[in-house]
Structure 1
Amino acid sequence: MLRLLFLFCSFQIFLTVKSGAHSLWALSTLIIGDTPFPEFITVGMLDDIQVFYYDSNVNNLREQQSKHTECITQEAANLVFGDLYRRVKNIALFSKHQLNLTGGIHVQQELSGCELLDDGIPGPLLSRGAFNGADNVEWQFSLQQKTLQSEGVWSTVWNHIETNTHELLCANVYGPICIKALKNCLHIKKNEVMRKVKPRVRLLQKTLPDSGVAKVTCLATDFYPRHINLTLLRDGQPVSDHQITGGELLPNGDETYQMRKSLELSAEELQHHHYTCTAEHLSLDNKLDIGLEREWDPGTTTILSSVTAVALLVCVVGATIIIWWRRRRTGQSSQASQSSTYLSTPSADLD
């Protein structure tokens, strides 16, 4: 189940729209077999924010917003999710039959939804499904051209009538409902999805103890929204992708994101080339260029100033104590010397 959930997360990242655009996804899971979970569950995501929940036990939509606003009406939700429930179940049963499976627990997952591009034009309807972790259906419908493209095991059993029916549903039902719900959600959640948090970007270098190879890492963290372009450069030119490791977008625990890209180098390469990192993000007015000799961080200046002040204070206090101790010691030595001279001088009365 954990592997399937990770696959589901990878679907979301795989279909994430580009910078400036917004998307509404229905993440659905259907379970065949005896489990304590509902047979069918759908979670609605506006970009990366959950906005509604639907399952076959409740058979009712629950939205994550105020009582007086809604992304999608209950009537439209029952129509869309009821049809989605039947379709996903049919695909699951077909896949189970094709693989000659009998008992046990089997899972069909599907990610489907729509997007608004950064110019406000509706993008295509998209859907991708997997049975027990293996892809079995994928289709895309163009709202402008009214054309359907599909592939996968399930798509091969569609006949001409089923294809035409699905095209009509996408053009007249799924498409309009999804785009309208996306616009409503954007209006309701605009303060959340439109917020911008600047990334903290650093270019780090360390030596791997086992091999002695140098590793240069460009790290960007604590940014929102998730879309970011992070590039490692050698002498001003982008390093080839096949030389780079990392690059996955990862969530932080505070609803921000992080990404890192690394490059392993020999000591000679590091010495004879200049490495930098660039970051482009919606929160930044200009492209950010970072070198190994410095790091950019909105909080770095404050932190460094505090550390410097503390270090200076420690030095001053330490120097004061040392000077006081030396003077005290010098005074004690002088006093002892005078006492010794006085005791060793013959008295006039003894003469």
Structure 2
Amino acid sequence: MEILLLLALGVHLTAADTHTYQYFFTAVTPGIHFPEFTVVGLLDGVQFEYYDSNIRKAIPKTEWIQKNKGVDYWKRNTQNGQGQEESFKGNVDTLMQRFNQTEGVHTVQMMCGCELDDDGSTRGYKQYSYDGEDFLSFDLKTLTWIAPTPQAVISKNKWDKTGAAANQWRNFLENTCIEELKKYVSYGRETLERKVRPEVSVFQKHSSSPEVVCHATGFLPKAVMITWQKDGEDVHEDVELRETLHNQDGSFQKRSILKVPAEELQKHNYTCVVQHSSLGDERIVKEVPKGGGSIGVIIGVIAALVSLAALAGCVGFLVWRNSSGERNKAFEPLPQNSSPSTDDDSSSNNSNNKV
């Protein structure tokens, strides 16, 4: 049964309009049925470019990049990808030695990229990880490298010695990267600004389960808000909000888990509330079904004051845990003198990526 409710809500949800431009590089030990090396280019969290050690060439993943980049671009990025492949395979061997490892599955990742807010403020970052843990990161403010583990100090000292790598990366992150970001946003604006409403379901695994899941999927842009209510009042405790994930079609999915005793579900009405820019002044409300089971059967669309803009995010094939609680960052992409996708980049100097 569908219910339309009109409510006066005092909450106005806003989000800054932020664009992101990132490359993820991942190298893994062979033998796990996964390419030994991959490069993924993302704009606003959407993959637009791809390279791996099996196909050994850079390929477009969106219509707008294919339309705006010619043969020379893909040839250049293919050469860069092949050079990076050799560097990162060497990094895996190097770090296994530093950590006294002779076998097992190991991963080296690097991510670099930049962000641009609608107020003109920018951010840039470059980070490495090993086996899912932070290994080395670039501090753009101090132009130094941060080494959280003893094994990373060797790389830090090497790159801090002359300052050349720091200056190179500052120029890229503060200038070239932002210029490229603006250019790519103009290429893909129609796609990036497309809005698709989420499909929402609420369910329990079984009637006695203390966890209720609210799952939103298929939405664009990425920014979404999922909250819980008990008898019409907001619930903030015992709520676990999972990270936003990609779907194969380029849309996004996200879930929120509410932990509540089964007897409480029988006594009270719990609902999941989803707010998204595609809904305009509405929001989707799904009621938790009594007695557990599968998908909730009551769908409410409630008038609200909602204004969401796309927030950028990072998606990599392998994303490491970040003990500091900050944004998960994976490995970088461009150790050459500029980004692999920079139009005037013809260099193949991959030494800057060797740890």
Q: TM-score range by the shorter chain?
A: 0.5 to 0.7
Q: Residues 83 and 273 (structure 1 numbering): CA distance in 2 closer, same or farther, change over 3 Å?
A: same
Who is 1:97 aligned against? 97
Mapped pair 1:238 → 2:235: yes
> Which 10-residue stretch deviates more, 258-267 or 193-202?
258-267
Who is 2:193 aligned against? 194
Q: Residues 221 and 106 (structure 1 numbering): CA distance in 2 closer, same or farther, change over 3 Å?
A: closer
1:45–1:52 contact (8 Å) kept in structure 2 = yes
Structure 1, residues 310-346: CA drift from partner, whole Å, max 9, x if none?
xxxxxxxxxxxxxxxxxxxxxxxxxxxxxxxxxxxxx
Mapped pair 1:277 → 2:272: yes
Amino acid at match of 2:239: I
How many residues are aligned here?
272
2:107–2:132 contact (8 Å) kept in structure 1 = no
Q: Residues 160 and 38 (structure 1 numbering): CA distance in 2 closer, same or farther, change over 3 Å?
A: same
1:280–1:286 contact (8 Å) kept in structure 2 = no
Mapped pair 1:184 → 2:175: no
CA deviation after TM superposition for structure 1 residue 189, in Å: 1.6
Who is 1:303 aligned against? none
Query: Normalising to structure 2: TM-score of the pair?
Result: 0.60
Who is 1:338 aligned against? none
Structure 1, residues 115-135: CA drift from partner, whole Å, max 9, x if none?
2234343222232322xx342
- Gap runs ≥5 in structure 1: 1-17, 299-351
2:28–2:107 contact (8 Å) kept in structure 1 = yes
Who is 2:172 aligned against? 173
Structure 2 CA distance for aligned equivalents of residues 269 and 43 of structure 1: 45
SS in 2 for 1:66: helix
Q: Residues 284 and 98 (structure 1 numbering): CA distance in 2 closer, same or farther, change over 3 Å?
A: same
User: Where do residues 84-233 of structure 1 align in structure 2 (5 Å cutoff)?
Assistant: 88-89=88-89, 91-102=91-102, 106-130=106-130, 133-142=131-140, 145=141, 147-148=143-144, 150-153=146-149, 154-158=151-155, 162-163=159-160, 164-201=163-200, 204=202, 208-209=206-207, 211=208, 216-233=212-229
Structure 2 CA distance for aligned equivalents of residues 77 and 176 of structure 1: 20
Question: Which has the larger Rg?
Answer: 1
Q: Residues 21 and 34 (structure 1 numbering): CA distance in 2 closer, same or farther, change over 3 Å?
A: same
Q: Residues 100 and 285 (structure 1 numbering): CA distance in 2 closer, same or farther, change over 3 Å?
A: same
Structure 1, residues 251-294: CA drift from partner, whole Å, max 9, x if none?
44543233332334345533554433332323233462626394
Amino acid at match of 2:127: S
CA deviation after TM superposition for structure 1 residue 230, in Å: 0.6
Structure 1, residues 126-183: CA drift from partner, whole Å, max 9, x if none?
32322xx3425241443xx464452333532245562223321211235433222222
SS in 1 for 2:279: coil
CA deviation after TM superposition for structure 1 residue 248, in Å: 4.3
Amino acid at match of 2:233: G
Structure 1 CA distance for aligned equivalents of residues 35 and 164 of structure 2: 29
Structure 2 CA distance for aligned equivalents of residues 68 and 207 of structure 1: 47
SS in 1 for 2:66: coil
Structure 1 CA distance for aligned equivalents of residues 107 and 243 of structure 2: 26
> Which 10-residue stretch deviates more, 27-36 or 219-228?
27-36
Q: Residues 54 and 276 (structure 1 numbering): CA distance in 2 closer, same or farther, change over 3 Å?
A: closer
CA deviation after TM superposition for structure 1 residue 95, in Å: 1.0
CA deviation after TM superposition for structure 1 residue 192, in Å: 1.7
Structure 1 CA distance for aligned equivalents of residues 33 and 212 of structure 2: 47
Amino acid at match of 1:124: G
- Gap runs ≥5 in structure 2: 1-14, 288-296, 303-355
Q: Residues 224 and 251 (structure 1 numbering): CA distance in 2 closer, same or farther, change over 3 Å?
A: same
Mapped pair 1:22 → 2:42: no
CA deviation after TM superposition for structure 1 residue 236, in Å: 1.7
Amino acid at match of 2:271: T
Higher relative contact order (CA 8 A, sep 6+): 2
Name whichever structure is richer in helix by fraction: 1
Mapped pair 1:295 → 2:299: yes
